[in-house]
Amino acid sequence: MTTHTQIPPAKRLLRTLNGEALWPPPMWLMRQAGRFLPEFRAMRAQADFLTRCMTPDIATELTLQPIRRFGMDGAILFSDILILPWAMGQSLRFVAGTGPVLGAIRSEQDLNALDPARIAEVTAPVLETLSRLNAILNGPDSIGAAAPGATTLIGFTGSPFTVACYMVEGKGSREFATTRQMAFCEPKLFGRLMDLLTQTTADYLCAQIAAGAEAVMLFDSWAGLLPPDEFRRHVIAPTRQIVQAIKARYPHVRVVGFPRLGGVMIGEYARETGVDVVALDTGADMRVVRDMVPAHIGLQGNLDPVAVLAGGEAMRAEALNIREAGRGRAHVFNLGHGVIPETPVEHVVDLVRTVRETA
Ligand code: CP3
């Protein structure tokens, strides 16, 4: 266990991830580096999405944009959960209006064509971005609205199940029926894919930590599609393995897990996986969940992104309601899912002011 004295007092997010209940809570927003920012849209013309992820100058700048503007407590690396399968050789493009399109994995041959040995080399620019960001965020200068040394750098991956969903389906989907059918009908093939992802995800997160990530987050956006036993097999078990692998090498590094739409399984997820903080989706009532999740585990979330799109008094009231629901717990204020691209920047300014006002 890291003692709190080793964490600079200004790093409020990192202190919270280590179990301190701070008031007001630290905050950042999922998809804070994104299309709702005019300065982000201005840089979109320069390069396609993968190029932006793989060019340290650009990825560093995009990560810092929301820090400069809002002084968020967390800087999440500008990257994507699909970089990992792409780094193993799966084809990937991002099509405007459609989202990601991948060469679907449906057979042993497809799976055998993936090469995890390529990951280190292909992701080297991502690791370079993290080390630059760590130096900037912990350097002597303030970053716009953020005081020097106050921002925590967050690395991330998808969780094996959610990444497998995109790898097998080959695109986004509401139900990921092809993937879940594979899990039922071809358990050996699906199990091999899940094992590959569990191993490579753990290694990639460790590499991110070695490069400078100060905490890591696992996005399991589609966890809630699974029935209970499958949730245990494909969400809880691999997450536990990944957390164990990280803690074996970096015992002090904190892990946030986001089992989106996990519903009543959230308590078991919290108790069994070893994550330090559970990120809640919009529908999870924090006043209920705080009793399902052991007190030593933190909570993150979970304002409805639509409330921020709407703005005004409705947004402020709901933000204060969620802040209050987390009182006395280690709570990281965040959204229940990503910022919606059409969200007016002034609404986010107002949200930050509201969450940080003391009362
Ligand atoms: O600001 C941040 O949160 C950091 C960067 C980040 C991105 N994607 C950038 C991105 C993070 C943490 C993600 C996670 C991610 N990516 C998830 C998990 C979280 C969630 O939203 O459920 C998932 C499922 C993906 C896969 C993905 N990437 C999809 C489905 C899409 C297309 C839809 C969309 O939101 O645009 C992406 C593209 C993507 N990832 C963009 C960004 C900024 C948009 C690219 C662009 O058009 O410029």
Q: What is the ipTM of this complex?
A: 0.94
Can you point out the beta strands (E) in the chain?
Answer: 74-76, 92-95, 99-102, 152-158, 215-220, 254-259, 277-279, 298-303, 331-335
User: Who's near 25: CB < 8 A, 6+ residues apart?
Assistant: 16, 323, 326, 331, 332, 333, 355
Indicate the number of domains in the chain.
1
pLDDT digits (tens, 9 = 90+) for 87-108: 999 999 999 889 999 999 999 9
CATH classification at residue 186: 3.20.20.210
Q: Which mutation among 28, 29, 31, 86 tests ligand 1's pocket best, with the greatest number of atoms within 8 A of CB?
A: 31
pLDDT in tens, 53-62: 999 999 999 9
To the query of whether residue 44 is one of the catalytic residues in this protein, the response is yes
Q: What is the pLDDT of residue 5?
A: 56
pLDDT in tens, 291-316: 999 999 999 999 999 999 999 999 99
The mean pLDDT of the chain is 97
| DSSP secondary structure string for all residues of 249-315 | H-TT-EEEEEETT-GGGHHHHHHHH--SEEEPPTTS-HHHHHHHS-TTSEEEEEE-HHHHHH-HHHH
- pTM more than 0.80: yes
Domain of 291 in residue numbering reads as 4-356
Q: Is 172 in the pocket of ligand 1 (CB under 6 A)?
A: yes
Residue 341 Cβ inside 6 Å of ligand 1? The answer reads no
- Ligand 1 centroid–CA 98 distance in Å is 12
Average pLDDT over residues 235-250: 98
